[in-house]
């Protein structure tokens, strides 16, 4: 294991002299590059101080007393440092300071992984109310990867928050890319997890400086695949030999014609279907992820799918409208469906949401604002991530321009 570096330095504070013209003697403790400074409540004439030897010049009683104190302080600090290392305790400059002055509070020494574990435990306790399980798992993975990096790079089991700096942040990003094979956007997700912990530490004065200061990460634009209306119709009308594929197809098509995310389709219950004054059926449900309300007119195809599974045993048992398998099975079976339907695209449950925004709504002239409302987005910029401008849309708009120009001619 890599040994901690330790150093103690005595110096004069010459920038602010005392009324009698003397300068205060200060002690600086440095451990692994992190330091703390203390006024040892002793002073001396600057002319009688040797910085090279870190002692007072002369044989006066006052000079001898100061030099004795400095020598004894060095010995005491070194003994404390050695004892902490022998006990395999986490050594920090702040801890040495507290032990030297008789203010030991080792239980209050905040560490990076310890703080993150505390945060993750609280998040896991709030799964289903404030957090989704997948979010908590990301925080837990982030902590696990950080622990691996700290052991590999620093030879330790944890790091005090006071030693977390920009070097660690950059090293973590590099580690995720090289050792874990994470792509840029995945790296950014983990960095956001780490930044939340460091922000928490800064807010509680557990850290003096934000380690992300001056560090910027830029997400790469990801082009998500979506299905055209023809491809959706091909899947919808296809006869599948296996019941599990038929079920997955129906759930996927339902999501593609409602725009609901996987978890919202899985949680869709009878109370989320409402009828307006004109007799039209709507889905009105808060999104599980953001709690934003979705207002979605229920088209004929999803209505037909709901009727198909109205008496399904799983639906009756769980009080939901569709017997939705887990996301992993859905995505696995969707690959089979794509092969059977000869669709050369990577089908996933999220692909349905993109298909709704693009092929069902925008291609048919639905405004971006209304698409945002149906998807449950609070910001139209989020909807632009889902919506794609198709050649057919461009051609339709430009044909209008051409007709307008023709009238002028």
Average pLDDT over residues 59-76: 92
CB count within 10 Å of CB 229 equals: 14
pLDDT at 131: 83
Q: Which of 155, 206, 151, 148 is nearest to 178 (CA)?
A: 148
pLDDT of residue 369: 84
CA distances to 50, 198, 201 from 119, in Å: 49, 11, 11
From the options 1.10.443.10, 3.40.980.10, 3.90.1150.10, 1.20.120.1770, give the CATH code of 229-395: 1.10.443.10
Residue 104 has a pLDDT of: 47
Mean pLDDT, all residues of the chain: 87
317, pLDDT greater than 70: yes
**Count of residues in the chain:** 409
Long-range interactions of 143-150: CB distance < 8 A, separation 24+: 143/113, 143/116, 143/117, 145/172, 145/175, 145/176, 145/180, 145/190, 146/112, 146/113, 146/116, 146/172, 146/194, 147/113, 148/175, 148/179, 149/175, 150/112, 150/113
What is the rounded distance in angstroms from the CA atom of residue 206 to the CA atom of residue 228?
53
Model confidence at 248, pLDDT cuts 50, 70, 90, reads: very high
Q: Residue 206 contacts by C-beta under 8 Å, 6 or more apart in sequence?
A: 110, 115, 161, 162
Among 12-26, 98-112, 300-314, the minimum mean pLDDT is found in 98-112
- Per domain, the residue ranges of the chain are 6-106, 112-203, 229-395
Q: Model confidence over 7-63: pLDDT tens digits?
A: 999 999 888 888 888 999 999 999 988 889 988 889 999 999 999 999 999 999 989
Q: Tokens 């022998």 — which residue?
A: 86
Note the pLDDT tens digit of each residue in 144-191: 999 999 999 888 888 889 889 999 999 999 999 999 999 998 999 999
pLDDT at position 11 is: 94
The fold of 112-203 is DNA polymerase; domain 1 (1.10.150)
**What number of CA atoms fall less than 13 Å from residue 24's CA on the CB side?**
14
Q: What is the pTM of this model?
A: 0.58
The span from the CA of 64 to the CA of 48, in Å, is 12
CB of 259 within 8 A of CB of 374?
Answer: yes
Q: Looking at residue 5, what is its pLDDT?
A: 84
Whether 64 shows a pLDDT value over 70: the answer reads yes
Segment 368-387 shows an average pLDDT of 75
The model's confidence at residue 387, banded by pLDDT at 50, 70 and 90, is low
């Amino acid at each position: 294991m890599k040994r901690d570096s330790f150093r103690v330095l005595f110096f004069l504070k010459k920038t602010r002299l005392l009324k009698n013209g003397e300068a205060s003697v200060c002690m600086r403790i440095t451990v692994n590059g992190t330091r703390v400074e203390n006024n040892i409540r002793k002073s001396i004439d600057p002319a009688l101080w040797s910085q090279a030897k870190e002692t007072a010049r002369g044989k006066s009683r006052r000079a001898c007393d100061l030099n004795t104190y400095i020598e004894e302080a060095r010995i005491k600090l070194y003994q404390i440092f050695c004892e902490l290392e022998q006990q395999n305790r986490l050594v920090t400059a702040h801890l040495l300071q507290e032990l030297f002055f008789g203010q030991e509070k080792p239980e209050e020494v905040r560490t990076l992984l310890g703080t993150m574990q505390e945060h993750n435990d609280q998040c896991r306790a709030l799964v289903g109310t404030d957090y989704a399980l997948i979010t908590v798992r990301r925080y837990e993975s982030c902590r696990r990867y950080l622990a691996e990096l700290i052991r590999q790079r620093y030879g330790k089991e944890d790091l005090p928050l006071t030693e977390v700096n920009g070097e660690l942040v950059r090293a973590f990003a590099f580690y995720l890319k090289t050792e874990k094979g994470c792509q840029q956007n995945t790296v950014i997700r983990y960095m956001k997890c780490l930044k939340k912990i460091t922000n928490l530490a800064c807010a509680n004065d557990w850290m003096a400086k934000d380690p992300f200061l001056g560090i910027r990460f830029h997400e790469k634009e990801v082009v998500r695949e979506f299905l055209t209306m023809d491809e959706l119709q091909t899947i919808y009308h296809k006869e599948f030999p296996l019941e599990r594929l038929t079920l997955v197809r129906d759930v996927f098509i339902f999501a593609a014609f409602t725009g609901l995310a996987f978890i919202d389709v899985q949680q869709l219950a009878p109370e989320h279907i409402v009828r307006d004054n004109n007799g039209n059926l709507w889905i009105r449900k808060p999104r599980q992820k953001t709690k934003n309300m979705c207002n979605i007119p229920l088209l004929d195809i999803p209505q037909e799918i709901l009727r198909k599974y109205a008496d399904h045993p799983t639906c009756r048992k769980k009080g939901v409208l569709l017997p939705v398998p887990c996301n992993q099975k859905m995505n696995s079976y969707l690959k089979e469906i794509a092969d059977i339907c000869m669709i050369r695209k990577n089908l996933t449950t999220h692909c349905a949401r993109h298909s709704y925004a693009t092929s069902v709504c925008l291609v048919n002239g639905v405004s971006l604002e209304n698409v945002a409302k149906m998807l449950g987005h609070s910001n139209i910029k989020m909807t632009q991530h889902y919506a794609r401008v198709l050649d057919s849309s461009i051609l339709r708009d430009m044909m209008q321009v051409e007709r307008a120009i023709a009238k002028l001619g």
